[in-house]
């Protein structure tokens, strides 16, 4: 499951510079990503 999240995060991160909407999503996903790491590790 964590690998799937990392892949999604990476795709959003590298596409964020092209679209402000994707950038907005990636910013929030970053927070969720660290919460996920903090919770399950």
DSSP letters, the chain, are -HHHHHHHHHHHHHHTTT-HHHHHHHHHHHHHHHHHHHHH-
pLDDT, residue 22, reads 66
pLDDT in tens, 5-41: 777 777 766 665 556 666 677 777 788 888 888 888 6
Nearest Cα residue to 13 out of 4, 2, 3, 24: 24
Nearest Cα residue to 15 out of 1, 3, 27, 5: 27
For residues 16 and 4, which has the higher predicted lDDT (pLDDT)? 4
pLDDT, residue 39, reads 84
pLDDT, residue 15, reads 60
pLDDT, residue 14, reads 67
pLDDT, residue 29, reads 78
- pTM, to two decimals: 0.36
């Amino acid at each position: 499951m964590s690998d799937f999240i990392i892949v999604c995060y990476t795709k959003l991160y590298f596409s964020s510079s092209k679209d402000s909407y994707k950038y907005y999503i990636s910013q929030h996903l970053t927070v969720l990503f660290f919460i996920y790491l903090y919770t399950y590790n």
